[in-house]
Structures are given as structure tokens and as C-alpha cells.
Structure 1
Amino acid sequence: MDINNILKEEFSLKDFQVVNTIELIDEGNTIPFIARYRKEKTGEMSDTVLRQFHEKLVYLRNLESRKEDVIRLIDEQGKLTKEISKAVEKANTLQEVEDVYAPFKKKKRTRASIAKEKGLEKPALEIMYGKTDDVDGLASKYIDEEKDLKSVEDVLKGVNDIIAEIVSDDAEVRKYLRENARNRGRVVSKGSSDEKTVYEMYYDYSEPVKYIAPHRILAVNRGENEKILKVKIEIDDEYVKGWIERRYTKKLSGKCREIVVEAIEDAYKRLIFPAIEREIRNELTEKGQERAISVFGKNLNSLLLQPPIHGKNVMGFDPGIRTGCKIAVVDRNGKFLDSAVVFVTGSQAKKSEAEKELIGLIKKHNIDIIAIGNGTASRESEAFVAKMIKDNNLDVKYVIVSEAGASVYSASELAAKEHPDINVSIRGAISIARRIQDPLAELIKIDPKSIGVGQYQHDINGKRLEEVLDGVVEDAVNSVGADLNTASASLLEHVAGISSAVAKNIVAYREENGEFKSRSEIKKVSKLGPKAFTQCAGFLRIPEAKNPLDNTGVHPESYATCEKMLTVLGYSKEDIKNGNLKDIDEKVKAVGLTKLAEELESGVPTIKDIIVEIKRPGRDPREDGMKPILRTDVLSMDDLRDGMVLKGTVRNVVDFGAFVDIGVKTDGLVHKKEMGVKVNDPMEVVSVGDIIDVKVVNVDKEKNRIALSMNV
């Protein structure tokens, strides 16, 4: 198997890209490092493609290893032939390899193995290959009461079991049935309940296997698990059995043919189809899960990379009814200042007391923004805050913030370490406030699965979800970079090349020795060796460093190249710090980018990246995104009218559309049919955090649903 060629074809790459990328991965380089600092070697492959490439490489290597194991195991049994070796070598998937190995695999005692123990394999093969004209006469020779073979019928029953297992173990039969089920089969579900449930549309449902959408796969699976639906795969049984019969009975006639046809029927019902149905169901589930994981990952990436709102004092508002609303005030740097618990529902006395308390905190700490969590009582809290701002003419705005995972964080070991003397309930409000100031730094403290921006994430393979989301978090953190002197250990551990232990050592070193003065100083941190330094250095920033390149994405290995380029173009490093590179693009154009790269003995992608970085040292790529909507008023469903156009924030994107916060209690749904163009994947149109204009299409108060359209 030519792994390099398979990767080349699947990812439409050139030979050098495949060879270099495999080499970089095998050397232990991280994906963010390869994507950012080895563009010449990979041909500028993105981090997303690199992760897919890596996954496929691991799969193909596992496939190669399994092929070698299977050939060895069959050879040890003395049954290896050229045909078997060729079949194993031709296999393109692990499943196909296992199909070839199936007849040689040690099985638990089966009906066929019991029949073989009674000596019935020889007559079974004679009948199967039509080598007898007298089936009953042949069978009578094997009657043996001690083996519980008391009649011809008993012998033929054992013969049937052996032939059925041979047919069932036939790799070609399995392959044919699998392809038939994939291309011509249907997923069928029936409701086993007369009650109205969220699964109503699946009570009498059928759809081709090859067309069923991933989210519908997970929906019927969940309905089945909840014992509301019965789900199965249906194919044309007679057509498929006819194909198997033609494969095995072309040269058979009479009683031999009759017995083999009967064995095929038994094999199909008892062994083959149940196994193929499980396989197809598993394939579909995997397809549904992979899509759900992809949706979750893209939404999480958008959420993590939402623009921060720097330099604002924020009041975190964690809504509640029975136990009140938890309030936490943080300064512009996220430092906790004050807290309170107020009741914005209930008696007028409590509401008046709450208003007095909140206004006092707003004035005392010069609050700029109130961040309201979107959980229980969020809209009641929003109405209260909006009225308070209006009635008291306060120079404050508010914003609705996703509070998903805040309670998980507040009870975590990390939260206890960060805020040891603060009540658990207040910690959640601190997290909500900080999510406005720096969504990435705050959200990476929470298990990604708890952030809740996907579809059917609770039905997904936990290990696989964790792998993908860890990659998403890693790519997000490294695309932004981390301030070496302020980043928490929980943020640093997601920087390429930095482990959890090293992240803690960096913070400990900082606390003991003061701020880092240069990137090279981190080499003094315990357990951070040369390899880790190479991987992480370019993603770390030091705003006040003497060398301005330490506050850019330029890797230390390219400092000499950058300094030489500055000299060639007539600049100095001071010009980076002072922002005096506004005409650098014109100067590069005059010299010629390719010629400049050749003169500097570097690649064009690296030079282009260096120019981008030194033009805006300390650049935060999130700043170019859409800021959250800051409000001073509030709407209710009663205020909505068909045709009304509003601005909204995309809260979640799923396969069938996007959920948008338009400032009322319920998020509205923009179905993909209402996205302005023909859309297969809504993620191609919108992302979590986007601010979009939407038109109200329908308001269903009874079902608490709002239909929106982007056709404004």
C-alpha cells in the first residue's frame, strides 16, 4: 500500500507536500507550529487540512499494520494462499481486512463449529460443491447416535450450519451486501407511542441510507434509545439473496442445490444481514457523530474567537429566581472588585432594594457594561436592567452573554484556586463578566463539551469529541497568541509545545522572578527544553519587551531574516515599535516580493507573514471581528410583528439553520431555506457571534417559536 500516494490523491497535494508533512509530524512538531512556521515545506496547508491529513496518516498506518498482522496470523495456521494475500493487499479499509480474516478468526463455539466437531465438514463441502448425486446416501454414512446424529435430517441440519457459516464468512458476499445497503437501502423508523413527542416526524419515516442527513441519524438514534422509535435498515432481500444464490449454485442441481439455497436463506437471516445492518447503523452513527463534532468544533472556534471588549469595567449578572441574581464586578483587567445578591423578581420592595444596590455598584465602580447570563430568568433580568437604565438615565449598556459552562467552572478546582475566598455562586458571575472582556481566556477554562454550541453533542463519542475540541482550542489559542506575562496556566497549556506542567512552571517562574523581559528567557523555565521552545516561542507575546519582535508572531528563528529585511528596506527595529512601517508594502512592491525573499534566503510565505506581523505588533486577529451588540432597551414576543427587521447575534449554527438572539426570551430560528441563497451548509453563511439583520417571519407564542429570515 502506497500511503504517500493515497494521501496525495485524497488531499490533492504534490509529492513534496506529502513527504515534508509526514516528516514534520514524525519529528513531533505540533499542528499549529507546522501550519504557521513551516509553510514552505507544506505548501501552505492550513491547520484544518493538516489535522485531517494527520488523522488519515494514522488510519493508513494502522491499516498497514493490521494487514501485516492478518497475513501473519493466517500464515501461522498454514492456510495462506496467493489469493488471500492479494485480497488483504487490495483492501482499502480496516473492515475489508477483517472480512478477509473472518473465516480464519478463532470463533466462540457456533452451530457450525459444533457440526464440524461431529465430523460434518467433509460432507458439507461435498454437497456445497455438488460432488455427490446421492445426498441422503452421503448423509446416512454420518449417522452416529453418540454424536447426537440420529438421522439423515440431523446430519443435514449440521451440514446446513456449516454451509451457512461459509457463506456468511465470504468477504465478497459481505462486501456486496454492504454496498447494496449503502446505495439502495433505506433507514426506516416507526413510532411506538401515540403521544406527541419531538420525534413525531419519525413515527412513520423512511429515507435512503445514502441521503439521510447526519442530524436525522442522531435524532432517530436518540428516539430509539428512549424507546420511542423502532429503527431498522431495509433492503430488497429477495434481490440480494438471488445474487448470493447465483454465486453459489450456478453448477448445482437437485438436492445439493436445494440444501445450499436453504443454507443461504439461513445465513442471510441469521448471520449476514444482522451483521451488515449493525455495520451500516454504526457507519451512519459515525457519520452523524463526525458531522456533529464538526459543527461543534466550528461553532466553538467562532465562540472562542469573538472580539474582546477591552478597557471596560464590567458587572457580571448571573440571573436566578429562587436564590436571587448573583452579581460580580470586575475591573478593566478582569480583577474581581465587588459582589452582591439581588432579587429582580417577586415583591416591589425586593425589586426596589435590588435597583438601589445595583445603582450603587454601578456608580461606585464606574461600570461600563452589564453582562447578563442567558440562563433561567435571563429575560426577566434583562427587562429589569433595561428599565433601571432608562428610569435612572444611566450611562451603561448591557449585553446578553452565553453562560454555558459557568456553573461547571465555578465548582471546578481551577475556580477554587483562582478565587479561594469567594462563594461558588459568585464565581459564575465573575466568569460571565470576563467573557465579555476576553472570551478566549475565560472559555478555555471550561471543558469544551460544557459550552453547548453544537447539535446532539450528548450523543457523541466522548473521546473523539474531546480530541477534536482540544484541537479547536489549540488552534484558536495559537492563532491569537498569549501574553507571556499575564496569561494564566490554563491558557498557556494550550500553546503549542507547552504541557500542563510546563504552563504551571511558567507561572511559578513569573511569580518568583517577575515579568519576562524576552522570549529567550523562558528557556530558564523548568522542563521547557529546546524542542518545546521552538514549538511555542512564536505564539508567545511580550508587549513591553526590549526587542519589538518579541511582541509579534515572528518566530525567533526568523529574527535575523527580519532584521536583514528591515535594513534592505531602510528601516530599523525602532520603526516597528513606533508604527513607522506604513509604506512598507510599497517598498516591498518596488523591490519585488520574490526577489526580496531570494535575497534574504527565505521563502515567500515566511516573508509575507513577517511583513504582516511587524506592521501591527501585538495584533489581535479577533479585533477585526464583529463586536457583541450592546443594548439599552428590551423586547418581548408581544413586541414582535411579522416583517419587522432587527439586528441579532448568532448563538448556534446547526445543519438545518441558525439560532439568533434578537433580544427576546427565545432565540429565533433562521432555517437554511431563509438564508438568502441556496444553502447546503449554514456554516458557509454564518458563524457563532456574527451580527446579522433578520426579518421576523412568524411568531408562534403557543409553541414559543420565532421564525426568522435573512431575506431582509
Structure 2
Amino acid sequence: MNQRIIGQISKELKLKTNQVKGTVKLLDEGNTVPFIARYRKEVTGGLDEAQIRTIEERLEYLRSLQKRKEEVIRLIEEQGKLTPELEEKIKKASILQEVEDLYRPYKQKRRTRATRAKEKGLEPLAKLMWTQELTSGNPEDIGKEYINPEVELESIEDVYQGARDIIAEWVSDDAGIRKEIRKITFKQGVIQSTCKDSETDDEGKYEMYYDYREPVSKIPPHRVLAINRGEKDEVLQVKVLAPEEDIIELIKDRVVNNPESIFYNDIIEAIKDGYKRLIAPSIEREVRNSLTEKAEEHAINIFSKNLRNLLLQPPLRGHTVMGIDPAYRTGCKVCVVDPTGRLLDTATIYPHPPQSRTGEAKKVVKGLINEYQVTTIAIGNGTASRETEFMVADIIKELKNTQVNYVIVNEAGASVYSASKLARKEFPELDVAMRGAISIARRLQDPLAELVKIDPKSIGVGLYQHDVNQKNLEKSLGNVVESAVNYVGVDLNTASPSLLKYVAGINSRVASNIVKYREENGKFETRDELLKVKGLGKKTFTQAAGFLRIPDGTNPLDNTPIHPESYQAAKGLLQDVGFKLLDITDKEKLKEVREELDSINIKSRAEKLETGIPTLKDIVDALKKPGRDPRDELPKPIFRSDVLKMEDLEAGMLLQGTVRNVVDFGAFVDIGVKVDGLVHISEMSHDYVDDPLKVVQVGDTVKVKILEVDERRNRISLSMKL
């Protein structure tokens, strides 16, 4: 079975059989995807994480499919109805739907009109009609034999109605017929939405769908989800319209073999009934489910890409940051954290109505800036953010000779973190809002370390995230966080349990044990010391070690992505080019090391050191940049010192902004005013754009031109076509 599945996956994904075979073996042995992608390149032929995850998904699907095929064959065999032809058809089926279609006639059904007709003894009549062999005689004479008032067959019409019900079900259960109808409905069907109740649509959110039609084959994912939501909110009524006449003709071609039959009209009536009553509703459900599934997959994919880009925003190193969680009545919560994220001080100020104690608030903020040498202020973008921004801009002007800037930080999910068990454990003495201010400050310093503490669904970079399959969303976002964390690597001596639990091979329990060990025994000096942590055995160590860093440990290799299993090769390589291990910690020596490593012959060195070429390439890269954080190469956030107002904006103005969210129809860009502007997909490039994610990503700094400002509707239209 495995060989057949491996062959199918290789063919589907256009990969070599050995690549898939090696990857499947590694997955079956319990290795994690990040570990396989990073440290088993020789086995996989250099497959990346996305390819390995696709293999994992297909493997799971095809194994489930195989299991279901075996189960269906067994169930039909138990009924004594399994033929060699049917068995072969089931074995050859490539999707679950085909298997279920073939099983349909043998499935235990709830009582239907057909089963009741069979109970009344009408199956022999239905079989006689189905053969269509009789071309002479009177149907009434034949039907009289079946009249039986005891089973509610009072008339000829009752008899033939029952027989037609049986034939209608046979038509409906035909796998070939269903397959063709499904194909036609997907190809020629139209999805239609009409208004069911406009009064429940106060804001007119679904207005464009009140009388809407679009081909099933062309409707884009975001419209499918919008229509689904409108239906769920009971504003819209949704139908799939199929070419009924063509479908009836198709069934006639498959079923009618003798138009001269005396039962011809009954057969035609049964065909129409079988389609309208049994097949059409079922295929409509399948079409809707399929559209929804694809739309959800697409939405989850976009959300996942946005989340990854947000998590990989560059950290702001070496800055003492002030975090402000703005509010009106309850006051703005202010905190100061040092460059490592340690809380230094807190305050609550009331610069906005109803208190409006602006002078006092400014004095407190200035005092904190001066006392702790604050260089950056992070302002949450929620309620009262704009007014707080005006106040901070004033303070910066008033503080002469200081290099203070501010950044508006997306605070999505901060309140979720603030009320969490984790936040209560970190800051038991602080109130919820103050914890939010700390989260805002820290997510500027190290977005990844802070955002992993929040349920990814709450981070606010998705579209329709509450409408999609929550289990699939959770799995996909979990994979994204795991991938991002392992891509960056984690400082073993500072990482929180929230961050550690995403490291390959480590679960929540082991993550807590690592922190507990650190608290009881002090900093980790080497990666090997991990083996002393309770519950962390050799298998977990193998998966996790390469992703954990010790910046000031006793072994410089522990601060690189080089896996301990490759330490011998790394040391041997350095020795070969005339250097010692400690030389990579010396800036001047490191320059010489880089020069030497740039000139080596990878292939011959790999043979000499008895290691694979991909692994040696990774070792060389790691030795050239020990302690490297891949996020440092990305553009930093836009720092501001003054406020831009909506009324300052004019069509034609050129501005710089930060991409906050990417959706199917464009991107939302923060240009420093209260609302994010929209760059519609048609305004992203002079060339045709089919996918906004090919042009921009969350966190990108972009230059934009203002097309239109609609103050009444609070909308700004932007263009990247400068």
C-alpha cells in the first residue's frame, strides 16, 4: 500500500520517488517538519517545509482513502453483493467521493419512499419496468396484480407511483450518473443569492448580494464566504442553479435503452423525480460544500501568509520602550520596559475626556522618558489612539535635544493576552489594561516572542477567520507559528514557555520544565545540558537542539543553527581552513574565517568530512554568521515624530506607509492617519496582478499615492502606481 501511495504522491507533486519515500519514512518515525526540512536535506533531496507539509497532508488523505476503500469492500462483501468489477472500481477510485458514490446503493438507508415501496412488494414490477423489454401489452393489467389495500396500494396509480419511487432511487444511486451531473453542475451551474430579510442587514453589508448571480466555476473565494455569512445571518437565500434540461437528457441517454417500451413514460417521470427530489439537492450540497472548502482553504492560506510575515517582523534591539495602551474614561496605561523586555515602571494618565488632565499626563510621560532614557514610544492603535498620538507628538516637540520617536503598534490580541492565565502569572500585581501596555511595548521589541503568547486567530491579519473551519484554521496557524519560531531560532536562556513550546519536538509540559530547570540551576551553558531537563529525552533533544541558541555559552556552535550531530564536521572544517572554534566569536578573526570559507570546494570537503553537501553548505553559512537573526535583514518599522491628520490629506500626495493586512482584493496600508487606506488590487502595479501577496506582504514599507479621501465614510483610496 505504501509503495502505491508514494508513487501517487510523487506523480502528483512531480517529485522523485526517493524524495517522497525518504520523507514518508522520516514522518512515520515521528520527526517534525521543521527538523526534516532543516537537518535531513540529504534524505529529502532538499525539500522545503511547504513541500514536506503537502506530502504529510496527501499521505494522511490517501491512507484514510485506502482505509475507507477496505471498509467499503468489506461491508458490501458481507451483504454478498461484491462483484470482481465493483471491487476493481472501488480500488481504482482516486477520491473519497467516488468511493462513497460506489457504496451508495449498498448503504443502509433510513426509510425512504423506495424502501417503503419495496416493503409493499413492488420491486419485481420496478425491475420489469427497468429492463424496458415489454413493447406490447397494457400496463394497467400488469399493475392490477400488485393492488393490495392492506399495504396501502389502493389503485393502479399507487402501484406505479411506488415502482417509480424505486426506479428514481436506482437512478440516484448510479455512481456514473452522479459523477456526470456533478461535473455539469460545477462547469455550468450558477450560484444565486437573493434577499431574504433586508431589515436584519442594518449596515447594508450584503446589499450587493440581494440579487446576485455568478457561475460556480468563476466565483472567487471571498465572495463565497461573504454569501455564506449572509445566509448564516439570515439576510440571504442561496441556491445553485443547474442546467436541468441538459441533465435530464443526460440521464435519459444513460437509462433509456428502448423508447418503444410500454413503461417509457413512467421511466421518464422516475428520471425527472430522481433528479429533482434526490440528486439535485444532494449535488447542490456537494457543490456548496466544495466551494466553501476551497474558499476556506484559500482564506486560511492568506491568513497564514499574513501571520508569518507579521511574526517575522524585525525586532527593535537595544531600545528602552514606553508602551501606551490608550483609553478615555479609565485612563491611558503607560509602562516602560528595558531592552530585554523587563518592566521598569508603570503609570496611569488621564489626558482625554472626561478628565482631560493633559498637562499632568504630559509631565508624567516626560518624567519617565528622562528617567529611563526612553528612545521609542509604542502606542496601541485602539480606542483613543489618535488623541494619544497627538499628545505624544506634542511631547516630542517640547522635549528639545532628545531622539524620541513613536510607532503605532497594532494591538490586536493584546487584550486577549492581558486576561490570559499566562499574563496573570507574569504580572499578578498589575491590572488587565497595564498588562496590555506591556504587551504593546514588547511586541515592538520582539514581535515573535510576544505574539506567540496570543491565540493566532486574535492577531487580526485574516479575512473571515471566524467563518472558516476552526480546526483547520488552528492547525494551519499552529504550523505557521512553529515554522516561524524554528526559522528564527530561540534563545534557550530567555525564551518563555509560550515560545519554547513551538520549538520542534517540544510540548507545553517540556517547555515549562526547561524554564523551571533554568530558574533552579541558572543559565544553560551548553545544549547538552538540555538532557538533564525532566521529560526531555534523546529523541526530543535531536528534534529541538538545532533550533535552540545559547549566545554566551561555553561552545560557540551552540549559538548557531548547526545541529550537535554535525559539530565534528564543523570543527573539522574550521581546522582544515586553519582556524579554531573560538575564532568565530572574534570579529576580526571572523572576517578571515569568512574569506577562507568562501573559497573552499564544497564537494571535495563534504567527501573528506564524510557529510552531505547540503549539510556542509548550511554549516558554512552558519559559521560565517554565528548568532544571525534572519529578521534583522528586513526593513524596520516607520518611526514618526509628528502627526498626519485626515484633513491634511489631498489627492495626489505621496506618502510612505506600512502594510497592515493583505486580502484578496488588495492591501490595507497604515499611512499615519486614523484609518488604514486601501490599495485596491487594480492599483498595485502597472502590470496585471492576480494575487496581492505576490506584490506586498504584511509589514512591508511601501510608497503610495492618495487617490481619494472620503471623510464621511472614513475611507482612503491609495495607489502604488506612482
Query: TM-score category by the smaller chain?
Result: over 0.9
Provide Cα deviations, 1:304-359, integer angstroms capped at 9, x if missing partner. Answer: 00000011111111111222211121111111122122223226851112111211
For the residue of structure 2 that corresponds to 1:370, the secondary structure is strand
Provide Cα deviations, 1:147-200, integer angstroms capped at 9, x if missing partner. Answer: 111111111111111111111111111111111111111111123355761222
Shift of 1:589: 5.4
Equivalence for 1:661: 670
Equivalence for 1:523: 531
Shift of 1:588: 4.4
Equivalence for 1:109: 111
Matched, 1:593 2:602: yes
Contact kept, 8 Å, 2:73 with 2:82, in 1: the verdict is yes
**Inter-partner Cα distance in structure 2 for 1:484 and 1:401:** 27
**Inter-partner Cα distance in structure 2 for 1:574 and 1:338:** 39
For the residue of structure 2 that corresponds to 1:243, the secondary structure is helix
Contact kept, 8 Å, 2:192 with 2:214, in 1: the verdict is yes
**Inter-partner Cα distance in structure 2 for 1:387 and 1:200:** 43
Matched, 1:256 2:268: no
**Inter-partner Cα distance in structure 2 for 1:668 and 1:561:** 52
Of the candidates 601, 620, 637, which is equivalent to residue 628 of structure 1? Answer: 637
**Inter-partner Cα distance in structure 2 for 1:372 and 1:48:** 35
Contact kept, 8 Å, 1:637 with 1:701, in 2: the verdict is yes
Provide Cα deviations, 1:102-157, integer angstroms capped at 9, x if missing partner. Answer: 11000111111111111111111110111444422222111111111111111111
Of the candidates 151, 158, 164, which is equivalent to residue 160 of structure 1? Answer: 164
Matched, 1:374 2:381: yes
Contact kept, 8 Å, 1:588 with 1:596, in 2: the verdict is no
For the residue of structure 1 that corresponds to 2:75, the secondary structure is helix
- Using the aligned pairs only, state the percent identity: 55
Of the candidates 174, 179, 182, which is equivalent to residue 183 of structure 2? Answer: 179
Equivalence for 1:441: 449
Matched, 1:486 2:486: no
Equivalence for 2:35: 33
For the residue of structure 1 that corresponds to 2:263, the secondary structure is helix
Unmatched runs of 5 consecutive residues or more in structure 2: none
> TM-score, normalised on structure 1?
0.98
Amino acid at match of 2:513: N
Contact kept, 8 Å, 1:674 with 1:710, in 2: the verdict is yes
Change beyond 3 A, Cα 1:589–1:506: closer
Amino acid at match of 2:89: A
Equivalence for 2:717: 707
Amino acid at match of 1:236: P
Contact kept, 8 Å, 2:655 with 2:671, in 1: the verdict is yes
Provide Cα deviations, 1:2-26, integer angstroms capped at 9, x if missing partner. Answer: 2112211221101110110000000
Amino acid at match of 2:423: A
Equivalence for 1:316: 323
Change beyond 3 A, Cα 1:591–1:414: closer
Contact kept, 8 Å, 2:324 with 2:380, in 1: the verdict is yes
Change beyond 3 A, Cα 1:647–1:263: same
Of the candidates 585, 606, 609, which is equivalent to residue 615 of structure 2? Answer: 606
Equivalence for 1:673: 682
Equivalence for 1:386: 393
Of the candidates 221, 233, 247, which is equivalent to residue 240 of structure 1? Answer: 247
Contact kept, 8 Å, 1:33 with 1:496, in 2: the verdict is yes
**Inter-partner Cα distance in structure 1 for 2:436 and 2:39:** 38
**Inter-partner Cα distance in structure 2 for 1:224 and 1:684:** 32
**Inter-partner Cα distance in structure 2 for 1:395 and 1:19:** 58
Equivalence for 1:652: 661
Unmatched runs of 5 consecutive residues or more in structure 1: none
Of the candidates 353, 356, 360, which is equivalent to residue 353 of structure 1? Answer: 360
**Inter-partner Cα distance in structure 2 for 1:98 and 1:605:** 45
For the residue of structure 1 that corresponds to 2:641, the secondary structure is coil
Amino acid at match of 2:268: V
Equivalence for 1:43: 45
Equivalence for 1:575: 583
Change beyond 3 A, Cα 1:592–1:673: same
Change beyond 3 A, Cα 1:508–1:347: closer
Of the candidates 674, 686, 689, which is equivalent to residue 696 of structure 2? Answer: 686
> TM-score, normalised on structure 2?
0.97
Change beyond 3 A, Cα 1:538–1:98: same
Equivalence for 1:78: 80
Matched, 1:459 2:481: no
**Inter-partner Cα distance in structure 1 for 2:513 and 2:139:** 80
Provide Cα deviations, 1:465-523, integer angstroms capped at 9, x if missing partner. Answer: 00000000000000011111111111101000111111111111111111111000100
Amino acid at match of 1:367: V
The farther-off stretch of 184-193 and 260-269 is 184-193
Amino acid at match of 1:495: V
Amino acid at match of 1:435: R
For the residue of structure 2 that corresponds to 1:526, the secondary structure is coil
Contact kept, 8 Å, 2:668 with 2:678, in 1: the verdict is yes
**Inter-partner Cα distance in structure 1 for 2:269 and 2:714:** 57
RMSD across aligned positions (CA): 1.4
For the residue of structure 2 that corresponds to 1:290, the secondary structure is helix
Contact kept, 8 Å, 1:127 with 1:135, in 2: the verdict is no
Q: Counterparts in 2 of 1:143-542, with a 5 A limit?
A: 143-193=147-197, 197-346=204-353, 350-393=357-400, 394-542=402-550
Amino acid at match of 2:697: S
Amino acid at match of 2:180: Y
Of the candidates 622, 642, 651, which is equivalent to residue 651 of structure 2? Answer: 642
Of the candidates 605, 608, 618, which is equivalent to residue 627 of structure 2? Answer: 618
**Inter-partner Cα distance in structure 2 for 1:9 and 1:75:** 32
Contact kept, 8 Å, 2:584 with 2:593, in 1: the verdict is no
Provide Cα deviations, 1:633-669, integer angstroms capped at 9, x if missing partner. Answer: 1111111111111110000001111100000001001
For the residue of structure 2 that corresponds to 1:641, the secondary structure is coil
Shift of 1:298: 0.5
> Structure 1 segments of 4 or more deviating over 4 A?
193-196, 583-586
Provide Cα deviations, 1:569-609, integer angstroms capped at 9, x if missing partner. Answer: 22210111114233556534544221221222211111111
**Inter-partner Cα distance in structure 1 for 2:19 and 2:644:** 54
For the residue of structure 1 that corresponds to 2:643, the secondary structure is coil
Shift of 1:250: 2.6
Amino acid at match of 1:75: E
Shift of 1:421: 1.0
Shift of 1:37: 0.4
**Inter-partner Cα distance in structure 2 for 1:510 and 1:608:** 33
Provide Cα deviations, 1:353-383, integer angstroms capped at 9, x if missing partner. Answer: 2111211221122111110111112112111
Amino acid at match of 2:704: V
**Inter-partner Cα distance in structure 1 for 2:80 and 2:8:** 32
How many pairs were matched up? 712
Shift of 1:531: 0.5
For the residue of structure 2 that corresponds to 1:344, the secondary structure is coil
Change beyond 3 A, Cα 1:186–1:601: same
Amino acid at match of 1:37: Y
**Inter-partner Cα distance in structure 2 for 1:508 and 1:46:** 34
Contact kept, 8 Å, 1:142 with 1:149, in 2: the verdict is yes
Equivalence for 1:552: 560
